[in-house]
Amino acid sequence: MTATHDPRLPGEILDFLACPTPAAWVDWALENPETLLIDHAQCEKKAASTAMSLLYRYVDDSELLTKMARLAREELLHFEQVVKLMEGRGIVYRPIGAARYAEGMRRHVRSQEPQRLVDVLIVGAIIEARSCERFARLIPHLDDELAKFYRGLVKSEGRHYEDYLMLARRLGEESIDDRVAFFIAQEGELITTPDTEFRFHSGVPA
């Protein structure tokens, strides 16, 4: 049995997302412990790289630069921690293909500024929120070492979600609620529909 509401998960995250992670994904993850960690490592590296690309593109936004520099550092630290954990477990870090997930949202990002940045930040908030929720969902099923590591990640990814959303909200006068609702709906679809391969952000087994 898997609990939908983990006590360590901030309630706000579940309210923000369209749906909780389906139980079928949790079972899928537990059947694929090696891929879970390899793809987790990939996700941390990509999270750092997304933050870095914002540092290059929006050099006049000091609030964004400060938040993203810190975020990139934290994600790289998480990456280092996953790699170390994998090493301890004798898991070989091999290249694996990306989930359809991030691209499934990014393809809807508008190309004009400042809309582009608003969308990129909203997508960032959603990815962080889902990661936070998935770590929390896995914790009750994991060994002590991994559970302890993931408990720490629930806190930091929850904070990253807040940072991204705050950065998106302070841009422009217009409300971003419609855009958030749009991307949340896309994300819900990617999470709840059949997927071909197991990944940290995959849908459910076909």
In whole angstroms, the minimum distance from the beta carbon of 13 to Fe ion comes to 13
Q: What distance in Å separates the CA atoms of residue 151 and residue 173, rounded to the nearest whole number? A: 36
Q: What distance in Å separates the CA atoms of residue 190 and residue 100, rounded to the nearest whole number? A: 8
Site size for Fe ion (CB under 5 A): 7
Does residue 133 touch Fe ion according to CB under 5 A?
Answer: no
Helix runs in 89-199, H state only: 101-106, 115-138, 144-169, 177-192
Site mask, Fe ion, residues 53-92, x = CB under 5 A?
----------------------x--x--------------
CA triple 179-154-90, angle to 5 deg: 120
Pick 50 or 202: Cβ nearer Fe ion? 50
SS (H, E, C) 33-47: HHHHHHHHHHHHHHH
Does residue 201 touch Fe ion according to CB under 5 A?
Answer: no
The residues, ordered by sequence, that sit 6+ positions from 18 with a Cβ below 8 Å of its Cβ are: 184, 185, 187, 188, 191
Does residue 137 touch Fe ion according to CB under 5 A?
Answer: no
The stretch near Fe ion (CB under 5 A) out of 46-54, 55-63, 94-102, 197-205 is 46-54
Q: What distance in Å separates the CA atoms of residue 136 and residue 57, rounded to the nearest whole number? A: 33
Does residue 157 touch Fe ion according to CB under 5 A?
Answer: yes
In whole angstroms, the minimum distance from the beta carbon of 206 to Fe ion comes to 28
Pick 49 or 196: Cβ nearer Fe ion? 49
Q: What distance in Å separates the CA atoms of residue 45 and residue 53, rounded to the nearest whole number? A: 12
Of positions 40, 160, 199, 201, contacts Fe ion by CB under 5 A: 160
The stretch near Fe ion (CB under 5 A) out of 16-24, 44-52, 135-143, 171-179 is 44-52
Residues making contact with Fe ion (CB under 5 A): 44, 47, 75, 78, 128, 157, 160
